Amino acid sequence: MQRIVRALGFTSFREFLQKDSHHIIPYLVPAIVKNPGTSQLLNDIGKTMMVDTKTLIEETFQVSSEIIGSGILNVR
C-alpha cells in the first residue's frame, strides 16, 4: 500500500487519507450493510487520521451528529 500511496505523490498513508479520504468513505459507508467489518475499517481510518469516526463521517457527508448517533450508522 505504501508504494501505491507514494506513486500517487503522497509521502505517507496518513497524508493520503487526510487529503483524499473523502473519495473513499462514500463507498465504505454503504458497504457496512453487506460487510460489518467495514465499520471497523472506518474506525481504523479515523484513528489513522487522528479524527473521531463520527467527525470523519460528518465532514465527509456534511450530516449532523444526530443522524450518526441515531443508530442508522453504527460507528463509535
pLDDT at residue 66 in the model: 53
* Inside any domain, residue 29: yes
DSSP 13-54: HHHHHHHHHHHHHHHHHHHHHH-THHHHHHHHHHHHHTS-HH
Residue-number span of the structural domain to which 40 is assigned: 22-76
Count of structural domains, the chain: 1
pLDDT at residue 63 in the model: 57
pTM: 0.63
Consecutive 10-residue averages of pLDDT for the chain (76 residues): 85 84 82 86 86 82 57 52
* Inside any domain, residue 34: yes
Rounded-to-integer distance, Cα 31 and Cα 29, Å: 5
* Inside any domain, residue 45: yes
